[in-house]
Structure 1
């Protein structure tokens, strides 16, 4: 999937990758619906308009201001929305679409339908939306994680893969966007196709969440509690577990070999810091930053984070989550009016007598990080180990039978306390060399020749996980276009343009759930037997 790189004319130890091109438009471009107008919905709506050969034609969102902002910016502009362009929830869209098809069958003049949907609602809603819309036969991209529990993931898999009326005609994608960044696509090509460091021996991968990003999303935000969301390893680092799976388990393109799954998994981690035990004495009983005597000295002050310099260029992205109507406030009264509205939002606090069950129903972005109800890990490591697993047929004919299937280890470290924000870095050690990848460059050291070569994938224009958000949207919509307009089979299009099957999705998620079980039970988990017991046995007809 990655374009071929050309060697720089001046320095032959530097390789530069050209930026991906936007696919050409067909006469009837794919029509896409965004379900959920939060940050991820906005991200994909922007990507559709900037990087794909499709068009965003509708939005589903219960919060009117979010629905309107996304619609005005990416769908209907300054005019009013027309029929089929906005819905309050997915069930309303479902009823409308069923009725639209009935009306069309009767020969009535009705709006054109959509070809695919981007599901960007809260994690616990994914299964209901996926299963509810599946009978419509639409192509679906579901934001990660697939579901917050293993049982729900299995249920989705069974519904989409074992129901023959759905599987052959529809594309299903998951929001594992890191597979689609130019950086990671080149990294996988170098490892699995070019084999620039030979047999992989070990991988050390780090996901630095970023100290203020963690407070926003996992202490104050929607992903702070396992009971209402999921473990942080799933909500944040399922991206990273998927990259490890993609690099070390999945066979290279064109190979018929089965996945090389880990033999064992272990994990350790906890909520180390963000709890009442670490609250400074000077903060007293304060539960909100803006009423706290220690606020001006606290690095976690909501006022400093959302109005100060800590976020740098990423401020707009997160402020919009705290105050969705911020753009309207600024447009109406200028920057000072926007700041005043934001501070008013951060000042919102709960009364001491308010039941904890009521407090937990919403995110309080001005809340003291030491008084929050968060319980997810802010530091965690996962270790995966593989045994030698040659393929019997190959062993008889090739001395390279173990290539890609030898013993190895991989370690993932997810840490909240870092200056870097989601700028992952990875060291990969092979028999013939080593690689260091830092989300911007890939440096290869060849042990045989002593040569050191640095690869430079294109620098992304925005945040977007290093162009990965645009990359996933581009490939998903392209796959739809090939099915809709060029007669390709959906299964073939998914393989060629997305490179990720339902089997890959369930295995990748299973690694996360197995790691969490190993962490909580403090064991080294035998993955093959766990997989057979917890997953494979439930996938049989």
Structure 2
């Protein structure tokens, strides 16, 4: 532990929050807490890197700083809520320990990289009875609420088919899944779990019924050495490449362009802790984010499709692709009495009974990526969880333990299908003894 400063007993009662993992996601949630001081109070942060602890704690002297989550758990309980925003492979141990220590737990997605760990975490939540939620921020966006309300209103009749697209974006794929921390299944998790468990969960949530069967196809097709342009020669880094101004995946174009346009925020904040153009240039010349995308050690897929059969005969298809604009999800829903399409900001509904179109606009809730708050999802999640604790109303958390486990089991089944080419059954009612197959690299 770095330092200990007890919270003043004279301050008004607010939800006390500890942040475990002070990377980008932890910083986002801490920022919300600081922006809502009458409702929440940041009281502790745990992270092995001092500069990240200080980014989260800021000038607040009353925020306890810990090197590790183990140091925090070893102390008497310091908060009402613990947000676990560590890397995917480091979710299980802190989530279980914090639940056993009596903390409400808000866990960054995915729950964990393996079915065994997912079941272990959910077992701990069942055993301890603490309030729990997964950061499926897509559930908490105004966009999702608008679509869900339309579906539940009955205007579409019986839902027959859902088509859902996640346009990851060419530069986002290069940043996170070719050069970045989620580029390898062994050190992080498969792409469908790391990036698109949100979307499988979203489809299940909008449909309101379980996924029963699933099949998937996906590959790493483009970001391989075989596709390196001949003109790039033997260059291993963008800064040494003749195509630095032409390649769509040019690191200087992506990061220096983002810095010049938006300042020091995600994604430039990921590649260096120093908020200057010179530091970004240095990082591109020596760090992992300056590597040629055709010379990286990535193995996660760059495009994938999933087809699902849901309870009651409904079908759904999901496509994740790197080869797109980085923008909001796009959805089409086909019902017996109506049709809906939505692009994350606008929704159009055709009522077959009247032949009339109804258009709705959700307003400006920010862009779709982490820098822009995921279209209002980050704020919506924090608002719901804090309100749930304030009012002791766990039903306000729509991404609870069993709901989230069900969608994760569907993702694991889809990954098995992608590997063996067969249709897989998804447990309709996940139990404490659900399948515990671990995804491993072939």
Whole-angstrom distance in 2 between the partners of 1:382 and 1:472: 26
- Contact (CA 8 Å) 1:204, 1:411: kept in 2 or not? yes
Per-residue Cα deviation, 1:144-164 (whole angstroms, up to 9, x for no partner): 000011111011111221x2x
Per chain length, whose mean CA-contact separation is higher, i.e. which structure has more relative contact order (CA < 8 Å, sep 6+)?
Answer: 1
TM-score (norm 1): 0.74
Quote the residue 1:288 is aligned against. 237
Quote the residue 1:217 is aligned against. 176
1:94 lines up with 2:80 in the alignment = no
Structure-to-structure mapping, 1:179-194, within 5 angstroms: 179-192=139-152, 194=153
- Contact (CA 8 Å) 1:304, 1:310: kept in 2 or not? no
Tell me which structure has the larger Cα radius of gyration: 1
Summarize the Cα distance change of 1:303–1:500 in structure 2 as closer, same or farther, 3 Å threshold: closer
Q: Secondary structure of 1:316's match?
A: coil
Q: Following TM superposition, by how much is the alpha carbon of 1:527 offset from its aligned partner in structure 2, in angstroms?
A: 2.8
Q: Following TM superposition, by how much is the alpha carbon of 1:309 offset from its aligned partner in structure 2, in angstroms?
A: 5.6
User: Tell me, which stretches of 5 or more residues in structure 1 are unaligned?
Assistant: 1-25, 102-112, 251-259, 327-337, 350-363, 388-405, 484-492
Q: Secondary structure of 2:280's match?
A: helix
Quote the residue 2:283 is aligned against. 345
1:369 lines up with 2:293 in the alignment = yes
- Contact (CA 8 Å) 1:40, 1:120: kept in 2 or not? yes
Per-residue Cα deviation, 1:150-204 (whole angstroms, up to 9, x for no partner): 111011111221x2xx11xx21010101111111012111112x11111101010
Per-residue Cα deviation, 1:233-262 (whole angstroms, up to 9, x for no partner): 0000001011011011x3xxxxxxxxx323
Q: Secondary structure of 2:184's match?
A: coil
Q: Following TM superposition, by how much is the alpha carbon of 1:312 offset from its aligned partner in structure 2, in angstroms?
A: 5.4
Quote the residue 1:11 is aligned against. none
TM-score (norm 2): 0.90
Structure-to-structure mapping, 1:234-249, within 5 angstroms: 234-248=193-207
Structure-to-structure mapping, 1:60-209, within 5 angstroms: 60-72=46-58, 76=60, 81-82=61-62, 85-95=64-74, 97-98=75-76, 113-161=78-126, 163=127, 166-167=128-129, 170-192=130-152, 194-209=153-168
Whole-angstrom distance in 1 between the partners of 2:436 and 2:324: 41
Q: Following TM superposition, by how much is the alpha carbon of 1:293 offset from its aligned partner in structure 2, in angstroms?
A: 2.6
User: Tell me, which stretches of 5 or more residues in structure 2 are unaligned?
Assistant: 1-10, 438-442
Q: Following TM superposition, by how much is the alpha carbon of 1:324 offset from its aligned partner in structure 2, in angstroms?
A: 2.1
Q: Following TM superposition, by how much is the alpha carbon of 1:528 offset from its aligned partner in structure 2, in angstroms?
A: 4.5
Q: Following TM superposition, by how much is the alpha carbon of 1:27 offset from its aligned partner in structure 2, in angstroms?
A: 4.5
Q: Secondary structure of 1:325's match?
A: coil
Q: Following TM superposition, by how much is the alpha carbon of 1:534 offset from its aligned partner in structure 2, in angstroms?
A: 7.3
Question: Which of these residues, 484, 494, 499, is aligned with residue 394 of structure 2?
Answer: 494
Whole-angstrom distance in 2 between the partners of 1:510 and 1:151: 11
Structure with the bigger percentage of helix: 1
- Contact (CA 8 Å) 1:120, 1:142: kept in 2 or not? yes
Summarize the Cα distance change of 1:115–1:532 in structure 2 as closer, same or farther, 3 Å threshold: closer
Structure-to-structure mapping, 1:131-530, within 5 angstroms: 131-161=96-126, 163=127, 166-167=128-129, 170-192=130-152, 194-248=153-207, 250=208, 260-308=209-257, 313=262, 316-326=265-275, 338-348=276-286, 364-386=288-310, 406-419=312-325, 421-461=326-366, 463-483=372-392, 493-495=393-395, 497-528=396-427
- Contact (CA 8 Å) 2:182, 2:188: kept in 1 or not? yes
What is the root-mean-square deviation in Å for CA atoms of aligned residues? Answer: 2.3
- Contact (CA 8 Å) 1:146, 1:174: kept in 2 or not? yes
- Contact (CA 8 Å) 2:216, 2:306: kept in 1 or not? yes
Q: Following TM superposition, by how much is the alpha carbon of 1:523 offset from its aligned partner in structure 2, in angstroms?
A: 0.7
Per-residue Cα deviation, 1:91-125 (whole angstroms, up to 9, x for no partner): 11112x23xx6xxxxxxxxxxx3111111110100
- Contact (CA 8 Å) 1:380, 1:414: kept in 2 or not? yes
Q: Following TM superposition, by how much is the alpha carbon of 1:308 offset from its aligned partner in structure 2, in angstroms?
A: 2.2
Q: Following TM superposition, by how much is the alpha carbon of 1:461 offset from its aligned partner in structure 2, in angstroms?
A: 4.7
Q: Secondary structure of 1:365's match?
A: helix
Moved over 6 A (4+): 529-534
Quote the residue 2:7 is aligned against. none
Q: Secondary structure of 2:106's match?
A: strand
Q: Following TM superposition, by how much is the alpha carbon of 1:296 offset from its aligned partner in structure 2, in angstroms?
A: 2.6
Per-residue Cα deviation, 1:364-390 (whole angstroms, up to 9, x for no partner): 000110010001010000000135xxx
Whole-angstrom distance in 2 between the partners of 1:238 and 1:316: 25
Q: Following TM superposition, by how much is the alpha carbon of 1:325 offset from its aligned partner in structure 2, in angstroms?
A: 2.6
Summarize the Cα distance change of 1:448–1:414 in structure 2 as closer, same or farther, 3 Å threshold: same
Q: Report the number of matched residues.
A: 422
Q: Following TM superposition, by how much is the alpha carbon of 1:51 offset from its aligned partner in structure 2, in angstroms?
A: 5.2
- Contact (CA 8 Å) 1:224, 1:374: kept in 2 or not? yes
